[in-house]
Amino acid sequence: MMISTKGRYALRVLIDMAEHQSEGYVPLKEIAARQEISEKYLESIVKTLVQEGVLAGLRGKGGGYRLRVSPEKCTVGEILRMTEGSLAPVACLDGKSPACGRIADCRTITMWQGLDRVINEYLDKYTIADLMHLDEPGNDYVI
């Protein structure tokens, strides 16, 4: 499994918006400039996030985008599944591929199911709020 730029940039956009949510609607141009991401590419990412109900958009003067969900309740796993589709390590687990005719005799399916569970549980453990605070002073203590 490889997370594309769409998934990675969606996380960056949401962290940026969470950090600037007190400003109301944030213009996409400002986010693109701060994150050094093409505004055109961000439009397609933001469109997905609006359709999924994570963001709200407002056109015109004073318009832009704002979070519709709390950063504390928005998980990395949810966002990556929205932008990437499936996080399944093999096609037979992605829910979109045709059923595998060998599943009854597959000696590796249990392993793949376990990996899929670990990936999803791990990514669902982190929220946008968690990512906002990862690089703050005091969060780098190592024993």
Hunting for tokens 């940039």 — which residue is that? 9
* Inter-residue contact 35 to 10 (CB < 8 Å): no
Torsion of CA 74, 78, 79, 83, to 10 degrees: -160
pTM of the model: 0.87
Give the per-residue pLDDT at 103: 81
Listed in sequence order, the residues at least 6 apart from 121 whose beta carbon sits closer than 8 Å to its beta carbon are none
Give the per-residue pLDDT at 98: 79
Per-residue pLDDT of the chain (143 residues; tens, 9 = 90+): 789 999 999 999 999 999 999 988 999 999 999 999 999 999 999 999 999 999 999 998 888 999 999 999 999 999 999 999 889 999 888 877 777 888 888 999 999 999 999 999 999 999 999 999 876 655 555 55
Give the per-residue pLDDT at 143: 55
